[in-house]
């Protein structure tokens, strides 16, 4: 529980903050399956105030902590120094969803006052040089390997930084005029990389567009959110929403890459035998099942307000989802999976049809051979009858195996039968081999997939 946090049911959602707090959220590549630990649920690690009842109801769906350590602030080292912003406290968490999608959380509280410019530089360092952050002279993730069971996690591509201003910065943001507030927020939200002067520019498309309610303020971009004036339990609720959204974004990226990998496998796998095709269809079907589970329980479960049905968190979730483009990405990824499913179904149907046609050709060939053999069996029968009678052409003093005397009779009886056997053998080989591969391999003549029907989104910085 955070110091100074109240669990009273009458606690206000707004509050002053003396020190700036920043939560750094980093997605981790791969999967880290949750295991039974003594850490419990997130609601046991942080105070969520009046949101706690919602979290208790949904705790089987929410991320769970697999690592939670309070670390001495001096152990964390940034590649270019702390830019004059020393930490008063540092808490490191790793949380993972039931599907195994992990997020690294650095909960930082600064020791002194924080200006917008210094904070912007600090945010830029912890984002763009995150692979070089160290803990005790070791790369951060290497230092976390032992507490995570010996497995060294890998940073993903998704980062979000939640800024809860405190002290002078909070008072300045809440009390400044609109023009000054826009300049400060622009510097923090874009980490000092997007200079913008509202007085000299008529283009406000890059402005943070804050929601200022007097006692509280909310402004966000794709990578940074500024939330001022909220009580600690609201801050923790917003952090939980951001964790779910960052995790969902990482799942979408993994789903997109997996879909492309399956498409390549579909193109490159040989299709000369039923065994190879059945194996390919089985692998693709299993992969599509995983993708559908990821989209359902790794994305859709965290992009609506059902888990925490509160106005404050819902507004933040909607705005952050729009900034990240989660819903458009989800729709496009879902369409890709649907089309991949259609390809698998079409390939399976084509295989069934080809195998049925092959079986039919084989049955017709065998039936023809049986009918022909029945007809050609008549000459051997006549030959046996020829030797079994006392005709003038049969010399009782000669053996029936004397080909000099009976060669013509043997030729008339067996040569057609031998010819039939050779013909049938050739026909069966042709049926088995077919005229080519069972299913044609995809080529460049396939019509391209039409683009998504949704209109393009405006670019975000």
Q: What does the pLDDT look like over 246-261, one tens digit per residue?
A: 998 989 888 888 888 8
Q: What is the pTM of this model?
A: 0.73
Instruction: State the pLDDT confidence band at 418, using cuts at 50, 70 and 90.
Output: confident
382 and 330 both lie in a single domain: no
Residue reference for tokens 């693709």: 284
259 and 142 both lie in a single domain: no
Residue 121 has pLDDT above 60, yes or no: yes
106 and 210 both lie in a single domain: yes
Residue reference for tokens 């943070």: 208
- Between 27 and 204, whose confidence is greater? 27
185 and 41 both lie in a single domain: yes
Are 63 and 41 within 8 A, CB to CB?
no
Region of 229 on the Ramachandran plot (φ > 0 left; ψ -120 to 50 alpha; else beta): left
Cα(328)–Cα(331) distance, integer angstroms: 5
Number of H helices, E strands in the chain: 12, 11
Instruction: State the pLDDT confidence band at 458, using cuts at 50, 70 and 90.
Output: very low
Find how far residue 149's CA is from the centre of its chain. 24
Burial of 113 (0-12, 13-18, 19+ CB in 10 A): middle
83 and 167 both lie in a single domain: yes
∠ CA 29-70-25, rounded to 5°: 30
- How many CB atoms within 10 Å of residue 439? 19
Residue 442 has pLDDT above 70, yes or no: no
Is 362 a member of any domain?
Answer: no
| pLDDT value at residue 377 | 67
Cα(32)–Cα(231) distance, integer angstroms: 32
Give the lowest-confidence range in 79-83, 102-106, 206-210, 300-304: 206-210
333 and 395 both lie in a single domain: no
265 and 236 both lie in a single domain: no
Give the lowest-confidence range in 19-23, 40-44, 177-181, 389-393: 389-393
Q: Which of 319, 242, 237 is nearest to 25 (CA)?
A: 242
DSSP string, 285-332: HHHHHHHHHHIIIIIGGGSSSSSS--HHHHHHHHHHHHHHTHHHHHHH
Are 98 and 60 within 8 A, CB to CB?
yes
Percent of the chain whose predicted confidence (pLDDT) is above 90: 25
- End-of-domain residue from the set 194, 223, 243: 243
Region of 434 on the Ramachandran plot (φ > 0 left; ψ -120 to 50 alpha; else beta): left
Residues 6+ apart with CB under 8 A from 384: none
∠ CA 383-385-386, rounded to 5°: 60
| pLDDT value at residue 380 | 66
Is 25 a member of any domain?
Answer: yes
Domains contained in the chain, number:
3
DSSP string, 383-406: HHHHHHS--TT--TTS-TT-HHHH
Expressed as residue numbers, the domain containing 296 is: 248-353
Tokens in use for 114?
């924080």
Is 2 a member of any domain?
Answer: no
pLDDT digits (tens, 9 = 90+) for 76-93: 999 888 888 999 999 999
Q: What is the mean pLDDT of residues 291-297?
A: 87
Cα(65)–Cα(131) distance, integer angstroms: 22
Residue 388 has pLDDT above 60, yes or no: no
| pLDDT value at residue 393 | 60
- Between 110 and 350, whose confidence is greater? 110
Calculate the alpha carbon distances from 265 to 104, 305, 455 in Å: 33, 38, 30
215 and 254 both lie in a single domain: no
Q: What is the mean pLDDT of residues 136-162?
A: 87
Is 234 a member of any domain?
Answer: yes
Percent of the chain whose predicted confidence (pLDDT) is above 70: 77
Is 8 a member of any domain?
Answer: no
Is 358 a member of any domain?
Answer: no
For residue 26, what are the β-bridge partners?
Answer: 104, 159
b/e sequence 205-217, b meaning 16+ C-beta within 10 Å:
eebbebebeeebb
Tokens in use for 272?
């000369």
Give the lowest-confidence range in 2-6, 175-179, 437-441: 2-6
- End-of-domain residue from the set 185, 211, 243: 243
Is 452 a member of any domain?
Answer: no
Tokens in use for 408?
């013509």
Calculate the alpha carbon distances from 216 to 173, 231, 273, 317 in Å: 9, 10, 67, 17
Is 369 a member of any domain?
Answer: no
Cα(5)–Cα(319) distance, integer angstroms: 26
238 and 299 both lie in a single domain: no
236 and 255 both lie in a single domain: no
83 and 37 both lie in a single domain: yes
59 and 85 both lie in a single domain: yes
Give the three-state DSSP class for 66: strand
pLDDT digits (tens, 9 = 90+) for 196-226: 665 555 445 555 667 777 788 988 888 999 9
- End-of-domain residue from the set 192, 212, 243: 243
∠ CA 441-447-450, rounded to 5°: 130
């Amino acid at each position: 529980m955070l110091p100074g946090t109240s669990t009273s049911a009458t606690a206000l959602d707004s509050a002053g903050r003396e020190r700036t707090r920043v939560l750094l959220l980093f997605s981790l590549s791969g999967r880290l399956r949750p295991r039974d630990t003594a850490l419990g649920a997130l609601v046991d690690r942080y105070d969520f105030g009046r949101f706690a009842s919602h979290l208790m109801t949904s705790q089987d769906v929410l991320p769970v902590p697999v690592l939670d350590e309070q670390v001495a602030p001096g152990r964390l080292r940034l590649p270019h120094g702390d830019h004059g912003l020393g930490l008063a406290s540092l808490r490191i968490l790793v949380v993972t969803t039931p599907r195994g999608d992990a997020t690294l959380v650095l909960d930082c509280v600064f020791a002194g006052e924080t200006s917008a410019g210094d904070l912007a530089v600090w945010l830029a360092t912890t984002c763009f040089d995150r692979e070089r952050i160290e803990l005790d002279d070791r790369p951060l993730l290497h230092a976390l390997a032992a507490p995570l069971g010996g497995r060294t996690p890998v940073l993903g591509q998704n980062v979000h930084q939640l800024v809860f201003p405190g002290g002078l910065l909070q008072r300045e943001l809440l009390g400044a005029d609109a023009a000054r507030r826009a300049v400060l927020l622009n510097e923090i939200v874009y980490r000092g990389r997007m200079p913008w002067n509202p007085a000299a520019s008529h283009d406000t498309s890059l402005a943070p567009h804050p929601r200022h309610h007097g006692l509280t303020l909310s402004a966000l971009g794709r990578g940074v959110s500024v939330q001022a004036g909220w009580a600690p339990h609201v801050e923790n609720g917003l952090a939980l929403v951001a964790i779910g959204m960052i995790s969902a974004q990482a799942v979408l990226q993994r789903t997109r890459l997996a879909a492309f990998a399956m498409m390549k496998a579909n193109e490159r796998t040989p299709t000369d035998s039923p065994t190879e095709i059945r194996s390919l269809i089985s692998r693709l079907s299993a992969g599509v099942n995983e993708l559908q589970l990821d989209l359902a329980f790794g994305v859709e479960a965290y992009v609506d307000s059902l888990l925490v049905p509160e106005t404050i968190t819902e507004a933040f979730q909607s705005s952050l989802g729009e900034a990240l483009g989660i819903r458009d990405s989800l729709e496009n990824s879902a369409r890709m999976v649907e089309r991949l499913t259609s390809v698998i179904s079409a390939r399976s149907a084509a295989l069934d049809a080809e195998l049925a046609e092959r079986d039919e050709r084989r049955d017709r060939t065998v039936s023809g051979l049986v009918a022909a053999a029945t007809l050609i069996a008549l000459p051997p029968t006549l030959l046996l009858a020829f030797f079994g009678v006392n005709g003038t052409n049969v010399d009782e003093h000669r053996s029936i195996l004397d080909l000099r005397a009976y060669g013509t009779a043997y030729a008339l009886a067996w040569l057609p039968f031998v010819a039939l056997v050779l013909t049938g053998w050739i026909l069966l080989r042709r049926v088995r081999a077919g005229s080519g591969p069972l299913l044609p391999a995809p080529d460049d003549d396939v019509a391209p997939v039409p683009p998504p029907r949704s209109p393009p989104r405006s670019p975000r910085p």
